[in-house]
Chains A and B, each alone.
Chain A
Amino acid sequence: MKWMLFSPEIFYLLAALCFLLLSMTGRLHRRRDHHIALALAVAGVAVCVASLQLEGSLFSETYKIDLFSQVFKLLLSVGLALVVGICSELRGIQERYEHEVYLLLFPCTLATMLLVSSIHWLGVYVSLELSSYSLYILVALRKDWTQGIEAGLKYFLVGVFASAMMLFGMVILYGTTGTLDVKQLAQILPGLMSHAAVVVGLLLALSGFFFKLAVFPFHFWAADVYQGAAHQIAAYIATVSKVAAIAVLVRMVAMLGGSSDYFVHVLAVLSVVSMTVGNLAAIAQKDLKRLLAYSTVAHAGYVLIGILSMNPGGYAGAIFYAMAILVMKFTVFLVLVKVAWDGTNLEVDGLAGLHRRSPLLAMALMVALFSLAGLPPTVGFTGKFLIFTAAMERGHFALVLIAMINVVISLYYYLLMLRAAYLLEPQEQCSPLSLSAPIKLLAGALVVVMVAAGIFPRYLMDLARNAAQGLM
């Protein structure tokens, strides 16, 4: 019954094939495609939920299925379902290529699922490349081709360069240890941590994931891609690919991190710099998506704190934070998609008068912003709280203090967005936004999830904690 373990991946493969066939039929049925995509995405979520408790390993011990991987697969499928949910009009994509959007989204999600549970460097590399390449193309499909093509090119060049460095890191690891299987590496590496080559190799190997997570040296693509890509694609990058990156980083660091102080210092440096650069750069942004990009870089910094504290609490915190990022980021993008329904880029001041045009969206934006800023009754705060507790247990007091200062800086630009939504009056009289019933339901559900997870985080935390146990 081995194939049952593989059921989510198989489902998404079949979905991708089905869209391949559909795209060949030629005529564009936007509504039909959207309904099919939605149905398949929701079915995907159901499959993942069904396979949540599965345990085992495939492909001669290189593909591990445990609670950790299944939880993340569930998260990825939910992320995909949400993104597909807001793809009803897809105004940001050129008409000719609208077929390809779903055709590429499903394989990308499949790739991230493979990434999550493969514990062999080669498997990791291949799935990482598969997801990156589908995203490069999706970004380039923007209706306003100048922005699209520029963003696509930049994303491609930085991505390929980073994957080349990752490959080189893998090679050094393989050269010095003789194996690419992470489980065996986990036994060998602690002994070799004093050798320069091994540690540098590991660091270079992780750079691929740093690129995916947009951590400091590899974050240069973020701003242009978010601004250049269509809103829905940017939403996908901000949520699903971030979650996948966190998952694989947590797994790798948990198994290979070992005891070397050097490695913790490097991660600390990266996290502090990316936090600060992300927050500071976000202050000066005018375009909303560019601002969100930099805030994602900052959040990558916070997650890194959780990862570098290398204790079960830290990993559970990182997992919880991944769930938080998914919900928070998606809500902001939901508001963005609904406000800029014509697909054009939205200025921060473009949110003017939102509280009048649609109070529900304004409230959702407010809760999302306070959650992103990490203010208590929201899920964002609980995530940060768990991460900081774990970091404090390892004695990183200065790190937590710097992170809190960054929280204050980040509050500044989140409040600027809030000011735009609640205070500014739009120049020309804009009509109130009419939301379809499901979208209203979705917005309300998101607000409830964010606040409920902030006030009663117990169940989600236990889930994250059990998932983190399975890693060691």
Chain B
Amino acid sequence: MAVPWVSDLTLLAAILATLLPLCSFLVVMLFTRSHPRISAGLSIGAMSVSLLCALFLLNEHWHMEKPLEYAGRWLVSGSIEIPFGFLLDPVSLLMLAVVAVIGFLIQIYSLGYMAGDPGISRYYAFMSLFLWAMMSLVVAPTLFQLYIFWELVGLSSYLLIGFWYEKFSASQAGKKAFIMTRAGDVAMFLGMLLILLHLGNLSILEIDSPALAARMSPRLLTLSALLIFGGIIGKSAQFPLMTWLPDAMQGPTPVSALLHSSTMVAAGVYLFERLFPFFFFSPDAMTFGLFIGTLSMLLASTMALVTRDIKEIWAYSTISQLGYMIMGLDAGAFFSGAFHLTTHAAFKALLFLCSGVLIHTFETNDIYELGRKGGRSLKVPMACCCIAAGALAGLPPLSGFFSKGLILEGLADLSNPVWLIAALFGAFLTAYYAFRPIFIILFPREASGEPEVHSATSTSKDHSAGHSSSHYWLMGWPLILLAGATLCLGFLKAPLEHFMGQTALPGVKGIGHPVWLLYTEIILAVGGVGLAWMEFGRRCAQQVGFVEKIPALHRLFAERWYLDHFYGWFVDRVIDRGVSALFTQNDHRVIDGSIDGISRGTVETGRLISHMHLGMVQYRLLAMFVVMVLLAFYFFF
């Protein structure tokens, strides 16, 4: 790798930030598999150094004008040149910092959560693998490198979801997640190839530059944009490929917090940011993205209304918030998507970690159960949970309000009002489903008249034994930090906008501030919380949601709009029993059959001919004579 040897510090920091988790992964996997303490320490140490480097890079380049790119020659094959290196600009540095901070906090949290689990060193190894893949994905200078780490992130999510592989449901969920994201990756790979064909190389800066738009016909540009958007749909669990995320909750809760809420699923949105100018050139792709974002946001919110498993609620809310970000980006508001991604990462991780503490102590995922077992007694987690839910709902002082407001303003600038109406309705639903579990846990109904415990999806208990109080504080400390972040991140809007704005992209519209939009947003948020209070918080409320009153709707949402049934039917009927059964029969009967048939045929003719030789002597003489006569006659033809 002919990289110009480290003269400046930035490159060293970038290298350290990305490669250290890889080293810890290799060291843990090869040498310290049997010493959990050492492997945990190793991976947290590596993560802390990468965190420091990420933060150092962030403030070192706070005022950078043009992006920094380092590229070393990695693989040359004929006309294709695949370099390996780093692309540092505000988009990637911000994301790098987000990933590093949340990764570090969750690794600390996991010390407490996973204590006593036999596979802890394997857990930390896979976590370091994920962090290496995610960090390198973020700073990838070319789509090749991004695609490579995109797949590696998918692999680590498979390994972490299926961490407790003894549970059949965990390995099943891991397989489902991997295949669905892989389907998206296939689309993305095709989109990449289309660009490669026309551009010659896949460096991101060149893709974003107008030069590409000049080379490709608009129709082809839209097609490749749509294909790459397919990859985003796969990774960020948008409309068609969304059902793997709620199943991914089988994994340990810190994994859900890190991967399936803030960082991994956000990779899709990050890719959108990364190629924003490229997407911007094809308006049809933007409208299609807008449609997909809205659809998945609404569907996910409706699913969150009915489910009883606390982690699944936050999983659905992640899908809907990602839908929000994509709507924001597709509406052309570049900074709104990026800012919402940052704030969402913080409060969603906080939500998961709080519910992790609850699950960890009471060993059940069901919100009614948690309520009855005295969830309210744990003061710190419940407080942070309320803050995070408030941010999710978009209540004013919290970060969620600012970032969601930006998105709504972006949508307001669009000509067609339907997107804005859908977004506002979504905001209302979000507020409602955010506070439903909070009130159920805070104001549990006594044993009498409780709706009998039945959970829509069979969520088996988390695999963790009771713990001493020392772990309590290990898990508590990250919560407080994250709660602080959700509180003050909202106020960092202006400096962040300035930081992101430096490389403001041409053609991005300025964002106006219609006043009535701000008030409607607040009213809807408070209205949602009030409705939730009405149905769950009040003393005499029956704790039955307005949706659960209509059984048909209830079942529809509980069954995830029958998407899972469709996929199950498709994989089982079409692929398994249909096409591959057809091919297998063809293989056995037609191809193999014909070859065995030929060989049996020769053996039969052999037997026939050998019988011919057993006749009387005189037949042989006759045969000789006749053949020679025939050969003689042949002369005349």
Contacts and interface: CB of A to CB of B under 8 A. Distances in A.
Tell me if chains A and B make direct contact, with any CB pair below 8 A: yes
Nearest to B624: A217
Contact of B632 (A200, A217, A221): A200
Which among A153, A218, A266, A283 has the highest number of chain B CB atoms within 10 Å?
A: A283
A164 to B, nearest CB: 10
Interface string A271-310: 0000001011111110000000010000000000000000
A197 to B, nearest CB: 10
A223 to B, nearest CB: 6
A11 interface: no
Contact of B620 (A158, A199, A269, A283): A158
Contacts of B549: none
Interface stretch (B283-291, B348-356, B506-514, B605-613): B605-613
A269 B617 contact: no
Given A223-B613, A277-B609, A409-B602, A157 B621 contact: yes
B620 A203 contact: no
B613 A220 contact: yes
A12 interface: no
A265 interface: yes
Contacts of B609: 277, 280-281, 284
B168 interface: no
B602 A158 contact: no
Nearest to B599: A412
Contacts of B610: 223, 281, 284-285, 294
Nearest to B631: A266
B1 to A, nearest CB: 47
A280 B606 contact: yes
A367 interface: no
A161 interface: yes
A221 B620 CA distance: 9
Contacts of B553: none
Contacts of A220: 613, 620, 623-624
Interface in B399-444: none
Contact of A158 (B624, B627, B635): B624
Contacts of B488: none
Contacts of B453: none
B606 A269 contact: no
A461 B202 CA distance: 61
A165 B628 contact: yes
Contacts of A153: 617
A70 interface: no
Nearest to B615: A220
A217 B627 contact: yes
Nearest to A273: B627
Interface in B587-637: 599, 602-603, 605-607, 609-610, 613, 617, 620-621, 623-625, 627-628, 631-632, 634-636
Nearest to A294: B610
A262 interface: yes
A284 B605 CA distance: 9
A207 interface: yes
A154 interface: yes
A76 interface: no
Contact of B628 (A157, A196, A199, A204): A204
A204 B599 CA distance: 37
Contacts of B602: 280, 283, 409, 412
A282 B617 contact: no
Interface in A174-225: 196, 199-200, 203-204, 207, 216-218, 220-221, 223
A interface secondary structure, majority = helix
B636 A196 contact: yes
A103 interface: no
Given A153-B617, A196-B636, A283 B606 contact: yes
A279 B635 CA distance: 28
Contact of B617 (A158, A216, A218, A284): A158
Contacts of A223: 610, 613
A266 B624 contact: no
A217 B606 contact: no
A341 B565 CA distance: 74
Interface residues of B, number: 22
A270 B621 CA distance: 17
Contact of A157 (B606, B617, B623): B617
B623 A161 contact: no
Contacts of B620: 154, 158, 220-221
A196 B635 contact: yes
Contact of B631 (A203, A218, A282): A203
A277 B602 CA distance: 11
A162 interface: yes
A63 to B, nearest CB: 29
A94 B627 CA distance: 38
B606 A281 contact: yes
Contacts of A154: 617, 620
A294 B632 CA distance: 26
Nearest to A160: B621
Interface in B550-607: 599, 602-603, 605-607
Contacts of B632: 196, 200, 203
A154 B616 CA distance: 9
A199 B635 contact: yes
B606 A203 contact: no
B608 to A, nearest CB: 8
Nearest to B612: A281
A282 B610 CA distance: 8
Contacts of A412: 599, 602
Interface string A230-272: 0000000000000000000000000000000010011001100
B635 A262 contact: yes
Contacts of A266: 631, 634
Nearest to B618: A157
A412 B599 CA distance: 10
B611 to A, nearest CB: 8
A285 B609 CA distance: 11
Nearest to A405: B602
Contacts of B607: 283-284
Contact of A217 (B599, B623, B635, B636): B623
A87 B635 CA distance: 47
A465 B599 CA distance: 39
A405 to B, nearest CB: 10
B95 to A, nearest CB: 62
Contacts of B606: 279-284
A165 B624 contact: yes
B634 A162 contact: no
Interface string B38-75: 00000000000000000000000000000000000000
A153 B623 CA distance: 18
A217 B630 CA distance: 11
B512 to A, nearest CB: 81
A159 B625 CA distance: 13
Interface string B100-138: 000000000000000000000000000000000000000
Contacts of B628: 165, 203-204, 207, 217
A284 B614 CA distance: 13
A54 B603 CA distance: 50
Interface string A409-431: 10010000000000000000000
A277 to B, nearest CB: 6
A157 B622 CA distance: 12
15 contacts: A158-B620, A161-B621, A165-B624, A196-B636, A200-B635, A217-B628, A220-B613, A220-B620, A277-B609, A279-B606, A280-B605, A280-B609, A281-B606, A281-B610, A284-B603
Given A200-B632, A262-B635, A280-B606, 18 more contacts: A154-B617, A157-B617, A158-B621, A165-B624, A196-B632, A207-B624, A216-B627, A217-B627, A220-B620, A223-B610, A262-B634, A277-B609, A281-B606, A281-B610, A284-B606, A284-B609, A409-B602, A412-B602
Interface of B: 599, 602-603, 605-607, 609-610, 613, 617, 620-621, 623-625, 627-628, 631-632, 634-636
Closest 3 CB pairs of A and B: A283-B606, A220-B620, A217-B627
